[in-house]
């Protein structure tokens, strides 16, 4: 991990760090890299990945039309609304 | 028993849900978590919400945006304090990264993290979805059993909720062996006090007719490293939704959309969370996916099979819940990444989804669906 990689990760994750924080994170990554390297002691060449600890069943049901929440309820937490529409920050320059 | 406190990882109607983060300060949900609906239907009263660390990934709540709780210089887990003081008879909490188990151990309470999928996660704040489990902390095993019974069961709204047929078959396959194995490889780095707790629990179990043996399985000691990778990767994905537009906090200083996203996330997330996000992101990058994330998924299977093999011969694996019996303010302030180190002890149950009971300050990890057996053991401790 170096500052350039960290800069790219910050950009990807939309985060900004101070110089002190960058040093902390680089040190944190060094510890994690050591942990990760230690995993090489376990031979996993013929081992399948375990994504789910329990079997996941696909849940299938009929579509049912319902109106669980009113427009007013849904917009109650919005910072700004206008005649029933959500107002969001400008996204086009 | 009637009064239950929940932690701030459950969606509630009428009171905000923050997950301990500035990002969700003031967020009000339109629906409540399934667990709360079930507890209310069973006659329990939810007395309030306990603070959690930001998105539940820290030691005991020290990263909460709303402040850490210390008593006489010792870090406290708010939900456990409520139970210990008698203000609530039990706490229902989301075990994301072991905090409830550490909190129960520190306060000599009993905690049950059930088999993954036994309790609905519908309406909980998602963080590390492949391992996090709704859990109970109470004064004794009987109270844990009662609350667990009220909230367990299939929920069609949660895709990871196990069907009743699978749970019934799993429970029927559990046989009591009256034997517990101390996992010596997990004692690494523990204080003398923690080792004394392991010895005391072993002695109490033996006095009550349980055979206690010591086993070594070095593989299981890698659970912490593998879990840190998987937990961080899942967290990174789950918190990517918080961008300052759809939920919670929005920065006041931006001139374009990129600044809006970046400033909102930078101002709202704490330092541990930012580090976890960045680490999770790196594990999922093109360069690292195979050698880090994919490797951790394969190690997870190796660990699961190693634990299953050990549990074929005993009811539970006895291991510490933490390296120490309490965290001082100096310890917490000296190392903001201590949770990643302490995961060494709680990760085996998190990464495998196996049930675990905390009693007498230590953990007893059992076979899937063996909650009753584990709580029987807790009663002997």
Q: What's the sign of the alpha-carbon dihedral B227, B230, B232, B234?
A: negative
Query: Can you give the pLDDT at residue B192?
Result: 98
Residue B249 sits at φ, ψ, to 5 deg, of: -65, 135
Query: Can you give the pLDDT at residue A77?
Result: 83
Interface contact B198, partner A, CB < 8 A: no
Residue B257, classified by CB atoms within 10 Å of its CB into exposed (0-12), middle (13-18) or buried (19+), is middle
Q: Report domain extents, chain A.
A: 3-43+54-86
Residue B117 sits at φ, ψ, to 5 deg, of: 95, -5
Confidence of residue A85 (pLDDT cuts 50, 70, 90): very high
Average pLDDT value for residue range A55-59: 76
Which residues in chain A (25-84) have CB-CB distances under 8 A to chain B? 25, 28-29, 31-32, 35-36, 38-42, 44, 47-57, 59, 61, 68-69, 73-74, 76-77, 79
Query: Can you give the pLDDT at residue A68?
Result: 87
Residues of chain A contacting B263 with CB distance shorter than 8 Å: 16
Of chain B, the percentage scoring pLDDT greater than 90 comes to: 97
Q: Is A49–B340 a contact, with Cβ atoms under 8 angstroms apart?
A: no
Query: Can you give the pLDDT at residue B295?
Result: 97
Asked whether residue B45 carries a pLDDT value surpassing 80, the answer given is yes
pLDDT in tens, B271-307: 999 999 999 999 999 999 999 999 999 999 999 999 9
For every residue of B155-223, DSSP letters joined together read -TT-TTPPPHHHHHHHHHH-----EEEEEGGGGTT--HHHHHHHHHHHHHHHHTT-EEEEE--GGGGGH
* Cα angle for residues B298, A53, B282 (degrees, 5° grid): 50
Tokens of B245: 């537009």
Tokens of B198: 């392991």
| Whether the Cβ atoms of residue B249 and residue A2 lie closer than 8 Å to each other | no
Predicted ipTM?
Answer: 0.93
Lowest mean pLDDT among A75-84, B12-21, B110-119: A75-84
**Which among B116, B226, B260 has CB closest to A89?**
B260
pLDDT in tens, B151-192: 999 999 999 999 999 999 999 999 999 999 999 999 999 999
Residues of chain A contacting B262 with CB distance shorter than 8 Å: 14-16
Q: Is B240–A17 a contact, with Cβ atoms under 8 angstroms apart?
A: no
Q: Backbone dihedral region of A83: left (phi > 0), alpha (psi from -120 to 50 degrees) or beta? A: left
Q: CATH classification of B3-224+292-380, choosing from 1.10.3720.10, 1.20.1200.10, 3.90.1300.10, 3.60.15.10?
A: 3.90.1300.10
Interface contact B206, partner A, CB < 8 A: no
pLDDT in tens, B231-246: 999 999 999 999 988 7
Q: Report domain extents, chain B.
A: 3-224+292-380
Average pLDDT value for residue range B336-341: 96
Q: Which of B158, B282, B369 to mutate to test the interface with A (most CBs of A within 10 A)?
A: B282
Q: In sequence order, which residues have a C-beta less than 8 Å from that of residue B381 and are 6 or more positions away?
A: B201, B204, B205, B359, B360
**Cα-atom radius of gyration of chain B, to the nearest Å?**
20
Average pLDDT value for residue range B218-239: 97
Asked whether residue B247 carries a pLDDT value surpassing 90, the answer given is no
Q: Is B28–A77 a contact, with Cβ atoms under 8 angstroms apart?
A: yes
């Amino acid at each position: 991990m170096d500052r350039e990689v960290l800069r790219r990760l910050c950009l990807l994750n939309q985060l900004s760090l101070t110089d002190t924080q960058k040093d902390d994170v680089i040190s944190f990554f060094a510890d994690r890299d050591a942990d990760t390297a230690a995993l090489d002691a376990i031979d996993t060449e013929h081992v399948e990945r375990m994504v789910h600890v329990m079997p996941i069943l696909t849940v299938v049901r009929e579509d049912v039309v319902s109106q669980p929440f009113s427009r007013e309820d849904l917009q109650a937490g919005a910072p700004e609304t206008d005649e029933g529409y959500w107002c969001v920050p400008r996204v086009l320059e | 028993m009637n009064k239950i406190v929940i932690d701030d990882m459950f969606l509630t109607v009428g009171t905000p849900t923050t997950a301990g983060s500035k990002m969700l300060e003031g967020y009000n949900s339109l629906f409540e978590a399934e667990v709360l609906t079930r507890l209310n239907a069973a006659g329990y009263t939810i007395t309030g919400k306990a603070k959690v660390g930001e998105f539940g990934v820290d030691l005991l709540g020290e990263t909460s945006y709303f402040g850490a709780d210390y008593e006489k210089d010792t870090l406290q887990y708010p939900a456990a304090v409520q139970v210990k003081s008698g203000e609530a008879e039990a706490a229902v909490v989301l075990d994301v990264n072991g905090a409830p188990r550490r909190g129960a151990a520190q306060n000599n309470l009993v905690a049950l993290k059930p088999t993954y999928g036994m309790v609905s996660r519908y309406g909980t704040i998602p963080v590390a979805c492949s391992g996090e489990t709704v859990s109970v902390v109470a004064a004794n095993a009987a109270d844990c059993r009662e609350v667990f019974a009220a909230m367990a069961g299939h929920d069609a709204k949660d895709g990871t909720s196990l069907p009743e047929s699978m749970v019934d078959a799993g429970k029927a396959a559990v046989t009591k062996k009256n034997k517990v194995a101390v996992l010596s490889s997990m004692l690494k780095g523990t204080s003398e006090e923690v080792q004394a707790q392991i010895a005391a629990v072993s002695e109490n179990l033996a006095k009550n007719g349980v055979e206690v043996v010591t086993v070594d399985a070095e593989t299981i000691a890698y659970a912490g490293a593998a879990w840190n990778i998987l937990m961080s990767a899942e967290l990174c994905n789950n918190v990517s939704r918080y961008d300052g537009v759809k939920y919670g906090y929005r920065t006041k200083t931006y001139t374009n959309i990129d600044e809006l996203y970046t400033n909102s996330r930078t101002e709202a997330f704490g330092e541990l969370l930012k580090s976890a996000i960045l680490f999770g992101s790196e594990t999922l990058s093109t360069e690292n996916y195979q050698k880090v994330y994919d490797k951790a998924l394969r190690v997870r299977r190796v660990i699961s099979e190693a634990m299953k093999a050990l549990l074929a011969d005993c009811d539970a694996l006895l291991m510490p819940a933490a390296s120490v019996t309490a965290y001082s303010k100096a310890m917490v302030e000296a190392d903001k990444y201590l949770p990643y180190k302490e995961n060494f002890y709680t990760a085996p149950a998190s990464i495998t989804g196996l049930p675990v009971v905390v009693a007498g300050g230590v953990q007893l990890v059992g076979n899937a669906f063996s909650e009753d057996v584990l709580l029987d053991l807790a009663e002997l401790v």
